[in-house]
Amino acid sequence: MARKMKMKPMRGVAPFLFGIHYTDGEKNLYSPVHIHRECEVYINVSGDVSFVVENRVYPILPGSVIITRPYECHHCVYHSDRRYQHYWILFSCEGNEWMLDLFFKRKAGEGNLLVLPPEERKELLQICRRMEGGNPRGAERHSLFFRILTLLERAEQITPSKNIYPEDILWALGMIGEHFAEPLTVQQLAESAHVSVNTMERHFRRFLQMTPRTYLQKVRLANSVRLLSQGSSVTEACTESGFSDCSSFIALFKRTYGATPLQYQKKLPR
């Protein structure tokens, strides 16, 4: 007599939207701070670089992998004009957070650097070349993508041991991260860090390639995107992200993302 199989309910899986890109350059690359709503996987092939995530610097070697989740501030630091090569993968994780512990079950800025054993590192680069250059489609393409995630889950997470930012920048980034929804001025940031406005402006331009005001705007915009994706109204996304004028917020949002907040929200997957 056949036994009935007990079926366990499976949590819903949203469609995975992802893309892979390859960069090969011979000169120093301008790399501003990135804040976006996708998960990212950066795979180094060669180059004299470090990677900064949430104020922490990670030394990078060939085969090193950096992962970031939505709204983690990150950027690459190029130390010389040596040739650099890397792959980077962006993928939408909305609705799939429950199956991505590697990305979400950690504090921001911690556990971003992954190192794989030689054989698995070799396999990872082979998969990247195949995905980027071979143009696989359908089930094969998704199979390769999930194989990458499986390899990353087996990797060792490395803790950074040094920092490249001056103390005033670290203080300002912490203040912005905690109080971006409140009225904040560069003068207040500089005074709280015990430096002049000129010093703070100079340090931000040198290390982040932007002004403190621009960085604050990026953090506020990133938070507004998060709120819009969670169903907040445009007014709520504006005020809860620290913008005092809704018209100015909509104009800035459109310049940055190419759509108004409402248009952007309507295009989000349901």
Residue 196 identity: S
Number of other residues whose CB lies within 10 A of the CB of residue 61: 11
C-beta pairs of 254-263 under 8 Å, 24+ apart in sequence:
256/221, 257/221, 257/225, 260/234, 261/224, 261/228, 261/234, 261/237, 262/234
CA nearest neighbour of 75 among 110, 108, 30: 30
Q: Please give the pLDDT value at position 6.
A: 52
**Contact (Cβ atoms closer than 8 angstroms) between residue 35 and residue 218:** yes
User: What's the confidence (pLDDT) of residue 1?
Assistant: 47
As a whole number of angstroms, the distance between CA 160 and CA 48 comes to 17
User: What average pLDDT does this structure show over 143-167?
Assistant: 86
Note the pTM of the prediction, 2 decimals.
0.73
Asked whether the predicted pLDDT for residue 46 surpasses 60, the reply is yes
Q: Residue 113: its pLDDT value, please?
A: 95
Beta carbons within 10 angstroms of residue 187's beta carbon: 12
Cβ neighbours of residue 218 under 8 Å, at least 6 residues apart?
33, 35, 210
Q: How far apart are CA 107 and CA 105, in angstroms?
A: 7
| The residue to which tokens 């980034």 are assigned | 173
**pLDDT at residue 7 greater than cutoff 60:** no
Task: Choose from 19-33, 156-170, 242-256 the range with maximum mean pLDDT.
Answer: 242-256
> What pLDDT is recorded for position 127?
95
Query: Nearest Cα to 133, choosing from 46, 22, 44?
Result: 22
Position 54 pLDDT exceeds 70? yes
* Mean pLDDT of all residues belonging to the chain: 86
Residue 33 φ then ψ, to 5°? -65, 135
Residues 183, 155: Cα–Cα separation, whole Å: 42
What percentage of the chain carries pLDDT values higher than 70?
Answer: 89
C-alpha to C-alpha distance for 152 and 268, rounded to whole angstroms:
28
Taking residue 8's Cβ as centre, other Cβ atoms within 10 Å add up to 4
Tens digit of each residue's pLDDT (9 = 90 or more) over 214-269: 989 988 988 898 888 888 999 999 999 999 999 999 999 999 888 999 998 888 76
Q: Which domains does the chain have, with CATH numbers?
A: 18-158 (2.60.120.280), 167-266 (1.10.10.60)
